[in-house]
Chain A
Amino acid sequence: MYEFAYHKPASVADAVKLLAADGEAKAVAGGQTLIPTLKQRLARPTALVDLSAVRDLVGITVGGGKVTIGAMTKHVDVASSADVKKALPALAALADGIGDPQVRNRGTIGGSIANNDPAADYPSACLALGATIKTNTREIAADEFFKGMFETALKPGELIVSVSFPVAEKAAYMKFAQPASRYALVGVFVAKGPAGARVAVTGAGPSVFRWKEAEAALGKSWGVAAVENLKASASGLNSDIHAGADYRAHLIGVMTKRAVAAAG
């Protein structure tokens, strides 16, 4: 790692000030992606602004048809929350399948979403459930948030404060995990909620995306039969040593069927 200064502010306002004062500073949440990136010298921030002491960013509230999760809430706490398990069991199950136990003990929802790894799990839940991402300055709909590979609508120095998920009538996440890394080779989050029938796909493309054909079919008639014969297009999908674009397209269909079956 290159050298950097280290700050540990206690409030969002102080964190924002530190980031505004230094354009080359970077916020660190759980650090499960950023620290390995720094170790490989793929990034050279002048300073790290550690958000772990900002108490306002931690916590889960359920009410008004929504599950709201503070940006610094760890995966383990979402996975084991009795409130989340009751209101949105698919979200708790998703959190329980991220990485490994040690990653879940450190990694946070805000970090995952801000990083927008093409194979991250949380972005699919945001998109399928029609979540709202609240930052220190505004609220952003999930549909407007995920812009491309490792790219989001966040402006420099803008911090995620919380993520609100509307409770869905039915929802499930199914992931075909890459056997070594446990990242999603393809992950599909399906939901029947206030935003209608939604199908969000992660791992398959440069960034999470909605499979509109499947949404239309499920919108007409929710059930495995509706997506039984649908084939996802391989155009623009990722192709690497783990899987070609055609295989990923095939997995989108399989994972969608499994997720719809699991959602009931």
Chain B
Amino acid sequence: MPKVSMTVNGKNVSAEVEGRTLLVQLLREKLGMTGTHVGCDTSQCGACVVHVDGKSVKSCTMLAVQADGAKITTIEGLATGNDLHPMQAAFKEHHGLQCGFCTPGMVMSAVELAKHNSNPSEHEVREWLEGNICRCTGYHNIVKAVQAGAKAMAAAK
């Protein structure tokens, strides 16, 4: 079986995987990091979004072997100790979730948007979240949270 090595939330990890092992399976099943969710498992819902070398990707649509040597950030890697990341804090403040299942992917996706755009319009947020589906249909507060989180990230720099 191929052996892969990568950095996950700043820690070096290695694991033996099959060619067909998905990145999300490596994270959840081998590394026990279950913050990244599997929703649709068909690349549509975005619950599984993580960052690979700083870019958001759907970890259900990437093989673990393809992430060999990469720098991965998951939802578990955002907070510093008990201090939530500004985007997480904004989701809490604006109640940007109902059941919470889609939230890890929403937050990871939003963090990449905020890196490019510190003051996104409602339209820009909704366009950016094209690949993140909330079946509670709680988008209204999610959009508010992303806008506030983006501003807070810029202010924290």
Contacts and interface: CB of A to CB of B under 8 A. Distances in A.
Given A32-B43, A35-B61, A1 B56 contact: no
B19 A6 contact: yes
Interface string B75-115: 00000000000000000000000000000000001001100
A106 B61 contact: yes
Interface of A: 1-6, 8, 31-32, 35-36, 38-39, 48, 50, 52, 76, 99-103, 105-106, 180-182
B66 A50 contact: yes
Contact of B20 (A1, A50, A99, A105): A1
A32 B61 contact: yes
B56 A102 contact: yes
B153 interface: no
14 contacts: A1-B20, A2-B20, A3-B18, A6-B19, A8-B65, A35-B22, A36-B43, A39-B41, A50-B65, A99-B131, A100-B130, A101-B131, A102-B109, A106-B61
B61 A4 contact: no
B63 interface: yes
Contacts of A31: 61-63, 66
A54 to B, nearest CB: 14
B37 interface: no
B56 A36 contact: no
Q: Looking at chain B, what size class is its interface with the partner chain? A: 20 to 34
Q: Which 3 A-B pairs have the closest CB atoms?
A: A100-B131, A6-B19, A100-B130
Contacts of A103: 43, 58, 131
B57 A105 contact: yes
Contacts of A50: 65-66
Contacts of B46: 100, 102
B20 A4 contact: yes
Nearest to B132: A100
Nearest to A36: B43
Contacts of B49: 102
Contacts of B109: 101-102
Contact of B2 (A6, A52, A102, A182): A6
Interface in B35-65: 41-44, 46, 49, 55-58, 61-63, 65
Of the listed residues B44, B61, B62, the one surrounded by the most CB atoms of chain A closer than 10 A to its CB is B61
Contacts of A48: 19, 63
A39 B42 contact: yes
Contacts of A99: 130-131
Contacts of A3: 18-20
Nearest to A182: B130
Nearest to A103: B131
Nearest to B53: A105
A3 B2 CA distance: 13
Given A31-B63, A101-B128, A105-B56, 17 more contacts: A3-B19, A4-B19, A6-B2, A8-B68, A31-B62, A31-B66, A35-B22, A35-B43, A35-B61, A36-B61, A48-B63, A52-B66, A100-B131, A100-B132, A101-B113, A101-B130, A180-B44
Contacts of A105: 55-57
Contact of B62 (A1, A35, A101, A180): A35
A103 B41 CA distance: 14
